[in-house]
Chain A
Amino acid sequence: MSARLRHRLRAARRAFLQVFGIPDFERYREHMHAKHPGAPLLSEREFHAHAIDRRYGAAKPRCC
């Protein structure tokens, strides 16, 4: 697989996850490395649990 194709696939996967509001661990990890190097990182399992609880815990009303 060419690097370019791999890059495209990754971007498509990312967009898909974002459209459906699915937590993206990879993006979180990159964000933490770039913005908060050295800060404690949640494990993949912790990240997903945390993200789902946050997304639904705020008890936002669903649209009619």
Chain B
Amino acid sequence: MNKLGSMLAWAAVAVLGAAAFAALALSHGESVNSVWLVTAALCTYFIAYRFYGKFIQDRVLRVDDTRMTPALRHNDGLDYVPTNRWVLYGHHFAAIAGAGPLVGPVLAAQMGYLPGTLWILVGVVVAGAVQDYIVLFTSVRRDGKSLGQMIKMELGPVPGGLALIGVLAIMIIILAVLALVVVKALTASPWGLFTIACTIPIALLMGIYMRLIRPGKIVEASAIGVVLLLASILYGRAVAADPSWGPAFTLSGPALAWALIIYGGVAASLPVWLMLAPRDYLSTFLKVGTVIALAVGIYVVAPRLAMPRTTLFIDGSGPVFSGKLFPFLFITIACGAVSGFHSLISSGTTPKMVEKESHMRLIGFGGMLTESFVAIMALTAACVLDPGVYFAMNAPAAVIGKTAAEAAQVISGWGFTITPDMITQTATDIGEKTVLSRAGGAPTLAVGMAQILATALGGKAMMAFWYHFAILFEALFILTAVDAGTRAGRFMIQDILGNAYKPLGNTEFLPGNVLATVLCVAAWGYFLYQGVVDPLGGINTLWQLFGVGNQMLAGIALLLCTSVLVKMKRERYVWVTLVPAAWLLVTTLTAGAQKILSADPKIGFLALARKFSAAAADGKVLAPAKSIDEMQRVVFNNYLDATVCSLFVLLVLAMCLFAIKICLQALRQAQPTAIELPPGGVGASS
């Protein structure tokens, strides 16, 4: 394209984006079409990619295509493979996209669609995409080293060790909260539970097929898997209605929690080819397919946003999560805006496959923009729902009661008019007995998706199918994450145990494996169980704990990037990573401090613990606890949550001090001190 044409095209994108934002901002009192929201997001991404991404590439990082990448240096046909950039972009996106961008935006929708949208868009451009891109770049220049190794190299061994402990803690919380999302979606839902239970034999069958019957025929095995999955969704309705099977698949929350804990322990002990690999392929296919279907669905159906731009709950009194817009919006929407976990993926397999340094803008920056788009679609799906239905699904029973009549009354009292009939009708439409208090994002998103997809394909009769399809699609990759995460946690725990007693660190040593697996499952299982029996819903507490941890990891990754830029003598451009790092530190430290110290028992862990402990001392039982025993448990758990939160806060403060020290040292040097491999790769270890 010639220069003028290109300028005109980009001007057109800018005008279209501005028009879309205007449509969102200027809609007083009338509902806006969701197409404007999605279009505004897409235009933002294109412009950010073309201009800010290119600025980072050419000025800040000064990528150099004559440098050897790890893929070219080691090209072994297995791990290190120079890969086409579009292919690697797809691969990287499939690796970073999980349940996170689907859950956070749905919870944040309680404040209206605008706060969430703005944070997702600003956050991804300024923080998320920058983090993913620069971590990828840093890793490629260091022969594909992992985040922990790079922190050790560039900041020192103590910060390296601290980062590992932080990653382990965050992972435990992530596993607990993801498992909790599944429990919330499947409690007393025989249809849902049946289809999810079916994924286990289906995965085993696929595993045997692609290992023993037709080795390596993964696409064939997955096609069989998809057909069987669809059959299980269709058949699930009959199972749920069956007088003897229906009750057998109707489990309470605590029973499901135990089932998941046992599943996690067993699944993580099986050979990887038997269940983990087939299920991972299956969930990746479904994930990519569903994301594309949802994008097409939104444009075809063009639903109106029923949720107002902002709701009264920006003041912190919301039923879905407590706390004001600042800082809690910024930790509730983690993935989709910026996710610390991506720094582990960007320094994992992806850097070993990059062919040229100039490809990384598409892969790192572009991959994260795409994940952000998924978050925008999740937000859209939640905001398409009637706000009354949204609050009925997401507010805990302690707030809205246990019947449709009570819930309708409370929610209408907030100004979101809804009748008990509308609530029960929604449940009937999706083939469930109740939709009340199904917090956790998945069910709300599933209803929203079902509404959109059913309008596009199949009409109302298909709503129940699409709802259970959406639940299945989310649960499938959450269960994969639980399996893979438990394995990763086991390795980390063995690493730590190995320091105390050498044989325990040996991953071939069976008692060591078993001990580490049990410790890992027990750790996340404890938080899961605590969340399930928490009458306030659990998601309330755990998701915020996860958000604080995940955003702090992003802060740590951006501090590493900042130190690397300073060590490369690019301090002129240090604001590119310093500004988002500072913002993440400010929001997470404020949120962390409030979660620990706030005098409001709805927000502060210690305040709630003290309130319950004082009442228990007087022999009083406070709702929603039902006995003194339960009171004591609430007290203990809140002290525990406060401890975990303090750990995150101290960790990030320590990392901050180390980064400042290293940056000041580097500033005094006249020459670059970053520890990169030389351009030709001389002296590289292979």
Q: Which residues of A contact B (CB under 8 A)?
A: 15, 18-23, 25, 27-28, 31-32, 35, 44-45, 47-49, 51-57, 59-64
Give min CB distance, B648 to chain A, whole Å. 15
User: Does B391 sit within 8 A of A, measured CB to CB?
Assistant: no
Do A19 and B77 contact each other (CB < 8 Å), given the known contacts A53-B272, A55-B277?
Answer: no
Do A61 and B273 contact each other (CB < 8 Å), given the known contacts A31-B77, A35-B75, A47-B216?
Answer: no
Further contacts, 20 of them, CB under 8 A, given A15-B87, A62-B485: A18-B88, A19-B90, A19-B91, A21-B94, A22-B281, A31-B77, A44-B215, A52-B277, A54-B79, A56-B276, A60-B349, A61-B344, A62-B480, A62-B484, A63-B97, A63-B339, A64-B100, A64-B335, A64-B339, A64-B481
Task: Give A53 to B271 CA distance when docked, in angstroms.
Answer: 8
**Chain A positions within 8 Å of B348 at CB level:** 60
User: Does B284 sit within 8 A of A, measured CB to CB?
Assistant: yes
Do A61 and B484 contact each other (CB < 8 Å), given the known contacts A19-B94, A32-B77, A53-B272?
Answer: yes
Do A15 and B84 contact each other (CB < 8 Å), given the known contacts A44-B216, A45-B215, A60-B484?
Answer: yes
Contacting residues of chain B (267-287) with chain A, CB-CB under 8 angstroms = 272-273, 276-277, 280-281, 284-285
Task: Give A22 to B218 CA distance when docked, in angstroms.
Answer: 7
Task: Give A45 to B210 CA distance when docked, in angstroms.
Answer: 10
Give min CB distance, B640 to chain A, whole Å. 21
Give min CB distance, B345 to chain A, whole Å. 6
**Chain A positions within 8 Å of B335 at CB level:** 63-64
Do A21 and B91 contact each other (CB < 8 Å), given the known contacts A15-B84, A31-B77?
Answer: yes
Partner of A64, one of B81, B285, B341: B341
Contacting residues of chain B (467-481) with chain A, CB-CB under 8 angstroms = 477, 480-481
15 A-B pairs in the complex with CB atoms less than 8 angstroms apart: A18-B84, A18-B91, A21-B95, A35-B77, A48-B215, A48-B216, A49-B215, A56-B277, A59-B491, A60-B349, A60-B484, A61-B489, A63-B96, A64-B100, A64-B174
Give min CB distance, A30 to chain B, whole Å. 8
Task: Give A31 to B78 CA distance when docked, in angstroms.
Answer: 10
Nearest-neighbor residue (CB-CB) of A56 within chain B = B272
User: Does B590 sit within 8 A of A, measured CB to CB?
Assistant: no
Give min CB distance, A52 to chain B, whole Å. 5
Task: Give A59 to B315 CA distance when docked, in angstroms.
Answer: 42
Q: Which 5 A-B pairs have the closest CB atoms?
A: A31-B77, A48-B216, A56-B272, A19-B90, A64-B100
User: Does B488 sit within 8 A of A, measured CB to CB?
Assistant: yes
Nearest-neighbor residue (CB-CB) of B99 within chain A = A64
**Chain B positions within 8 Å of A21 at CB level:** 91, 94-95, 284
**Chain A positions within 8 Å of B98 at CB level:** 62-64
Q: Which residues of B contact A (CB under 8 A)?
A: 75, 77-79, 81, 83-84, 86-88, 90-91, 94-100, 171, 174, 178, 210-211, 215-216, 218-219, 272-273, 276-277, 280-281, 284-285, 334-335, 339, 341-342, 344-345, 348-349, 477, 480-481, 484-485, 487-491, 546, 550
Do A20 and B284 contact each other (CB < 8 Å), given the known contacts A52-B272, A64-B335?
Answer: yes
Do A59 and B277 contact each other (CB < 8 Å), given the known contacts A44-B216, A64-B98?
Answer: no
Task: Give A49 to B685 CA distance when docked, in angstroms.
Answer: 27
Contact A18 B83 (CB under 8 A): yes
Contact B550 A28 (CB under 8 A): no
Task: Give A51 to B280 CA distance when docked, in angstroms.
Answer: 15
**Chain A positions within 8 Å of B349 at CB level:** 60
Give min CB distance, A59 to chain B, whole Å. 4
Task: Give A27 to B95 CA distance when docked, in angstroms.
Answer: 22
Task: Give A51 to B484 CA distance when docked, in angstroms.
Answer: 17
Contact B178 A64 (CB under 8 A): yes
Partner of B77, one of A27, A55, A60, A64: A27
Contact A49 B90 (CB under 8 A): no
Give min CB distance, A38 to chain B, whole Å. 15
**Chain A positions within 8 Å of B489 at CB level:** 61
Nearest-neighbor residue (CB-CB) of A19 within chain B = B90
Do A63 and B100 contact each other (CB < 8 Å), given the known contacts A18-B83, A18-B87, A23-B216?
Answer: yes
**Chain B positions within 8 Å of A15 at CB level:** 84, 86-87
**Chain B positions within 8 Å of A22 at CB level:** 218-219, 281
**Chain A positions within 8 Å of B334 at CB level:** 64
Task: Give A35 to B171 CA distance when docked, in angstroms.
Answer: 40
Task: Give A10 to B90 CA distance when docked, in angstroms.
Answer: 18
Task: Give A62 to B219 CA distance when docked, in angstroms.
Answer: 21
**Chain A positions within 8 Å of B174 at CB level:** 64
**Chain A positions within 8 Å of B488 at CB level:** 59-61
Give min CB distance, B104 to chain A, whole Å. 10
Partner of A25, one of B81, B88, B216, B344: B216
Task: Give A59 to B342 CA distance when docked, in angstroms.
Answer: 16
Nearest-neighbor residue (CB-CB) of A61 within chain B = B488
Give min CB distance, B132 to chain A, whole Å. 11
Task: Give A57 to B349 CA distance when docked, in angstroms.
Answer: 13
Contact B78 A61 (CB under 8 A): no
Give min CB distance, B94 to chain A, whole Å. 7
